[in-house]
Amino acid sequence: SSFPSSVSMSSSSSSDNDKSSSSPPSCVIQRLSLNQSQMERWLFLQKLLDGEAQCNDANELLYRLLQSHVWILRNSTPEQIEDLPLSFPTLSEADIVTMEHLLQKYNSDTTEDGREMIPVLSSSVEDGYITEDTPSILNDLETLLPDEDEDEDAYNGNWDMINQIHGLEITKVENASGCEFWEARCCIARVLLYFDFLSEGVVDGSFA
């Protein structure tokens, strides 16, 4: 069953600026309890699609999700992958290389307090909330998602989840708007959903 779209967003977590500068970097997964509660994952996706999530939280979560899957794929047998508690997407070697490329290219890009991220979104109003690398990153991310011609069921299922979380009519309006900020937010959300983030969070043993 799904969570209602009317869930209140008022209890959002504190921003990075509220933390002491002397504190060690806090993983977004831990800070927002994303691996403990499916409700928190639903709320995060809803806030992301609404444009209310912290940009660097989304950037970091994307990095950690791709890192998780690359680590699993490169360090597990097919039998071990089958035993994982998630619906592992069908990925080609080219997909894995694309993920590794993104992780390697941006492994020195960090948030203000040193957390790794892929810089898709920006907090700068002047830049339209995207970065100069956003178009090329989105092109790479789109290759990881199901193609409408090759896997129509997976493609439609992915968009059905976006419609369910964000609302069918507003999603139609946003898709027709040509807004790059929306396209970036939506692409991140689609990747998170396709990689089973909503059901299982970020599954990986190499970091907590």
pLDDT tens digits for range 163-204: 999 999 999 999 999 999 999 999 999 999 999 999 989 976
Name the residue with tokens 């890009």.
109
- The C-alpha atoms of residue 185 and residue 174 are separated, in whole angstroms, by 11
- The C-alpha atoms of residue 114 and residue 82 are separated, in whole angstroms, by 34
Tell me which of 1 and 203 has the higher pLDDT: 203
For residue range 122-167, what is the model confidence (pLDDT) as tens digits?
999 999 999 999 999 999 999 999 999 999 999 999 999 999 999 9
Count CA within 13 A, CB hemisphere, residue 158.
24
- DSSP bridge partners of 116: 110
What pLDDT score does 23 carry? Answer: 53
**How crowded is residue 168: how many other Cβ atoms within 10 Å of its Cβ?**
12
Average pLDDT, the chain: 85
Determine the residue type at 164.
Answer: Q
For residue range 47-97, what is the model confidence (pLDDT) as tens digits?
999 999 999 999 999 999 999 999 988 888 888 877 776 677 878 899 999
Name the residue with tokens 């009317």.
6
Does pLDDT of 98 surpass 70? Answer: yes
pTM of the model: 0.84
- Is residue 3 within 8 Å of 37, Cβ to Cβ? no
Hey, what are 175's tokens?
């898709």
